[in-house]
Chain A
Amino acid sequence: MVQQNNKEQQESSLLIWEKIVSIFSIPSQNEILNYKQQSQNNIENNLKPLFNNVRLYKLESLVLDWYFESIKKYFKSTLSNEFWKFFNNVNLAELDSSKTSGRELKFINHQFALSISLLHKVFSYFKFNLFLFYELLFKNESYNFNFLIKKLQDLLITNIMHTTNQQTKYFNTILFMFFERDFISFTKSFYHSKKQILNKEEKNDGKDFKLKVQQEYSDGEIEEEEEKEEEEEEEEVSKSYIMMEMSFEDSITDINIKEDSFMDLCKKLQDLNFIVISEEIFTQILFKKVFEYIETRCKGVFEKRFLKSILEWADQVIFKWLGMILLSSTKNNNNNLFDEDEDENSLKIFNQWKTRLEFSIYENYSQQRISELFDMIVQYPDSLPSFEDLSICFQKIPIEKTMITNLKRVLHNRLLHPGANTSDIITQYISTIHAMSIIDPSGMVMDKVGKPIREYLSQREDTIRCIISSFTDETNEIYQELCDYDPQDDDYLNSFMQNGASGGDLYVDEGDNFSNDDFKIWNPNKIDGSGSGSGSGNSNGGNNNNNIKKKDTISHLVNIYDSIDLFINEYRSMLSDRLLSVVDFDLDKEIKNVELLKLRFGDTILFNCEIMIKDMADSKRLNTQIKNSNNELKEFETLILSQLFWPTLKGDEFKYPKSIQEKMNLYSKEYERIKTPRQLIWKQHLGLVDLDLEIGSGNIQSFQVSPIHATLIMLFETNNDNDDDEDDEKELTLEYLSNQLGISKELARKKLIFWLNNQIIRETSHETYQIINKEKEEKKQKQQQIENPDQDIDESSSDDEDNMVVVEEEEEEKSTSAKEKEEQMRVVESFIIGMLINFKTLPLERIHSMLTMFNSEVYTSSIQELKAFLCNLTNEEKIEMVGNDYKIKK
Chain B
Amino acid sequence: MSQDHSVSKRLQSELMNLMMGPSPGISAFPDGDNIFNWIGTIQGAKDTVYEHMEFKMSLKFPTDYPYKPPTVKFETQCFHPNVDNNGNICLDILKDKWSPVYNVRSLLISIQSLLGEPNNESPLNSYAASLWSNQDEYKKVLEKRYQEATSRS
Shortest distance from the beta carbon of A101 to any chain B beta carbon, whole Å: 89
Whether the pair A838, B40 counts as a contact (CB closer than 8 A) is yes
Q: In the docked arrangement, what's the CA distance between A838 and B22, Å? A: 13
Question: Does A591 interact with chain B (Cβ within 8 Å)?
Answer: no
Within 8 A of B (CB), among A831-879: 831, 833-835, 837-839, 850, 853-855
Contacts of B35 in A (CB 8 A): 853-854
> Beyond A834-B27, A838-B41, A839-B39, is A853–B22 a contact (Cβ under 8 Å)?
no
Shortest distance from the beta carbon of A39 to any chain B beta carbon, whole Å: 112
Question: Does A142 interact with chain B (Cβ within 8 Å)?
Answer: no
Question: Does A243 interact with chain B (Cβ within 8 Å)?
Answer: no
| 1/0 contact string of A807-827 vs chain B (CB within 8 Å) | 000000000000000000001
Which partner residue on chain A sits nearest B33 by CB separation?
A853
Question: Does B7 interact with chain A (Cβ within 8 Å)?
Answer: no
Contacts of B19 in A (CB 8 A): 827, 830-831, 833-834
Whether the pair A830, B40 counts as a contact (CB closer than 8 A) is no
Contacts of B29 in A (CB 8 A): 834-835, 837-839, 850, 854
Q: In the docked arrangement, what's the CA distance between A838 and B39, Å? A: 6
Whether the pair A854, B15 counts as a contact (CB closer than 8 A) is yes
> Beyond A834-B29, A838-B29, A839-B29, is A855–B22 a contact (Cβ under 8 Å)?
no
Q: For the complex, count residues of B whose C-beta is within 8 A of A.
A: 19
Q: In the docked arrangement, what's the CA distance between A468 and B27, Å? A: 43
Q: In the docked arrangement, what's the CA distance between A854 and B34, Å? A: 9
Which partner residue on chain A sits nearest B26 by CB separation?
A837
Contacts of A854 in B (CB 8 A): 12, 15, 29-30, 35
Question: Does B16 interact with chain A (Cβ within 8 Å)?
Answer: yes
Whether the pair B39, A830 counts as a contact (CB closer than 8 A) is no
Contacts of B31 in A (CB 8 A): 838
Contacts of B18 in A (CB 8 A): 834
Shortest distance from the beta carbon of B23 to any chain A beta carbon, whole Å: 11
Within 8 A of A (CB), among B39-98: 39-41, 56
Whether the pair B27, A837 counts as a contact (CB closer than 8 A) is yes
Q: In the docked arrangement, what's the CA distance between A853 and B11, Å? A: 12
Q: In the docked arrangement, what's the CA distance between A439 and B41, Å? A: 66
Q: In the docked arrangement, what's the CA distance between A827 and B20, Å? A: 7
Whether the pair A830, B15 counts as a contact (CB closer than 8 A) is no
Whether the pair A838, B28 counts as a contact (CB closer than 8 A) is yes
Q: Which interface class (under 10, 10 to 19, 20 to 34, 35 or more) fits A?
A: 10 to 19
Q: In the docked arrangement, what's the CA distance between A830 and B40, Å? A: 15
Whether the pair B33, A834 counts as a contact (CB closer than 8 A) is no
Which partner residue on chain B sits nearest A826 by CB separation?
B20
Which partner residue on chain B sits nearest A828 by CB separation?
B19
Shortest distance from the beta carbon of B153 to any chain A beta carbon, whole Å: 10
Shortest distance from the beta carbon of A389 to any chain B beta carbon, whole Å: 59
Shortest distance from the beta carbon of B46 to any chain A beta carbon, whole Å: 17
> Beyond A830-B20, A831-B19, is A850–B41 a contact (Cβ under 8 Å)?
no
Whether the pair A830, B41 counts as a contact (CB closer than 8 A) is no
Contacts of A853 in B (CB 8 A): 30, 33, 35
Whether the pair A855, B16 counts as a contact (CB closer than 8 A) is yes
Contacts of A839 in B (CB 8 A): 29, 39
Q: In the docked arrangement, what's the CA distance between A351 and B153, Å? A: 95
Whether the pair B27, A838 counts as a contact (CB closer than 8 A) is yes
Interface centre among B19, B39, B40 (most CB of A within 10 A): B19
Shortest distance from the beta carbon of A317 to any chain B beta carbon, whole Å: 77
Q: In the docked arrangement, what's the CA distance between A434 and B60, Å? A: 60
Q: In the docked arrangement, what's the CA distance between A837 and B39, Å? A: 10
Contacts of B30 in A (CB 8 A): 850, 853-854
Contacts of B39 in A (CB 8 A): 838-839
Contacts of B22 in A (CB 8 A): 830, 833-834
Interface centre among A837, A850, A853 (most CB of B within 10 A): A837
Contacts of A831 in B (CB 8 A): 19
Shortest distance from the beta carbon of A825 to any chain B beta carbon, whole Å: 13
Shortest distance from the beta carbon of A848 to any chain B beta carbon, whole Å: 13
Which partner residue on chain B sits nearest A846 by CB separation?
B32
Whether the pair A837, B33 counts as a contact (CB closer than 8 A) is no
Q: In the docked arrangement, what's the CA distance between A838 and B55, Å? A: 10
Contacts of A850 in B (CB 8 A): 29-30
Shortest distance from the beta carbon of B143 to any chain A beta carbon, whole Å: 20
Q: In the docked arrangement, what's the CA distance between A831 and B41, Å? A: 14
Q: In the docked arrangement, what's the CA distance between A855 and B27, Å? A: 16
Shortest distance from the beta carbon of B66 to any chain A beta carbon, whole Å: 18
Shortest distance from the beta carbon of A637 to any chain B beta carbon, whole Å: 37
Contacts of A827 in B (CB 8 A): 16, 19-20
Contacts of A838 in B (CB 8 A): 27-29, 31, 38-41, 56
Contacts of B20 in A (CB 8 A): 827, 830
Interface centre among B16, B28, B35 (most CB of A within 10 A): B16
Within 8 A of B (CB), among A781-820: none
Q: In the docked arrangement, what's the CA distance between A833 and B18, Å? A: 11
Which partner residue on chain A sits nearest B28 by CB separation?
A838
Which partner residue on chain A sits nearest B43 by CB separation?
A837
Q: In the docked arrangement, what's the CA distance between A839 and B57, Å? A: 11
Which partner residue on chain A sits nearest B15 by CB separation?
A854
Which partner residue on chain B sits nearest A832 by CB separation?
B19
Contacts of A855 in B (CB 8 A): 15-16
Shortest distance from the beta carbon of B20 to any chain A beta carbon, whole Å: 6
Contacts of B40 in A (CB 8 A): 838
Q: In the docked arrangement, what's the CA distance between A833 and B15, Å? A: 13
Shortest distance from the beta carbon of A342 to any chain B beta carbon, whole Å: 85
Q: In the docked arrangement, what's the CA distance between A834 and B39, Å? A: 11
Which partner residue on chain B sits nearest A853 by CB separation?
B33
Q: In the docked arrangement, what's the CA distance between A833 and B38, Å? A: 15
Which partner residue on chain A sits nearest B8 by CB separation?
A854
Q: In the docked arrangement, what's the CA distance between A459 and B6, Å? A: 36
Q: In the docked arrangement, what's the CA distance between A571 and B141, Å? A: 65
Q: In the docked arrangement, what's the CA distance between A831 and B27, Å? A: 11
Q: In the docked arrangement, what's the CA distance between A677 and B43, Å? A: 41
Which partner residue on chain A sits nearest B32 by CB separation?
A850
Shortest distance from the beta carbon of A510 to any chain B beta carbon, whole Å: 56
Shortest distance from the beta carbon of A60 to any chain B beta carbon, whole Å: 100
Contacts of A833 in B (CB 8 A): 19, 22
Q: In the docked arrangement, what's the CA distance between A327 and B30, Å? A: 90
Q: In the docked arrangement, what's the CA distance between A188 and B39, Å? A: 95
Shortest distance from the beta carbon of B122 to any chain A beta carbon, whole Å: 30
Q: In the docked arrangement, what's the CA distance between A780 and B16, Å? A: 68
Q: In the docked arrangement, what's the CA distance between A831 and B20, Å? A: 8
Q: In the docked arrangement, what's the CA distance between A1 and B19, Å? A: 115
Contacts of B41 in A (CB 8 A): 837-838
Q: In the docked arrangement, what's the CA distance between A850 and B20, Å? A: 16
Q: In the docked arrangement, what's the CA distance between A827 and B35, Å? A: 18
Which partner residue on chain B sits nearest A856 by CB separation?
B12
Task: Report 14 cross-chain contacts, Cβ distance below 8 Å, ordered by A residue.
Answer: A827-B20, A833-B19, A833-B22, A834-B18, A834-B28, A834-B29, A835-B29, A837-B27, A838-B28, A838-B40, A838-B56, A850-B30, A853-B35, A854-B30
Beyond contacts A827-B16, A830-B22, A850-B30: 6 other A-B pairs, Cβ-Cβ < 8 A, are: A837-B41, A838-B31, A838-B38, A838-B40, A839-B39, A853-B35
In the A-B complex, the 3 residue pairs with the closest CB atoms: A837-B27, A838-B29, A830-B19
Taking beta carbons and an 8 Å cutoff, which residues of B are in contact with A? 12, 15-16, 18-20, 22, 27-31, 33, 35, 38-41, 56
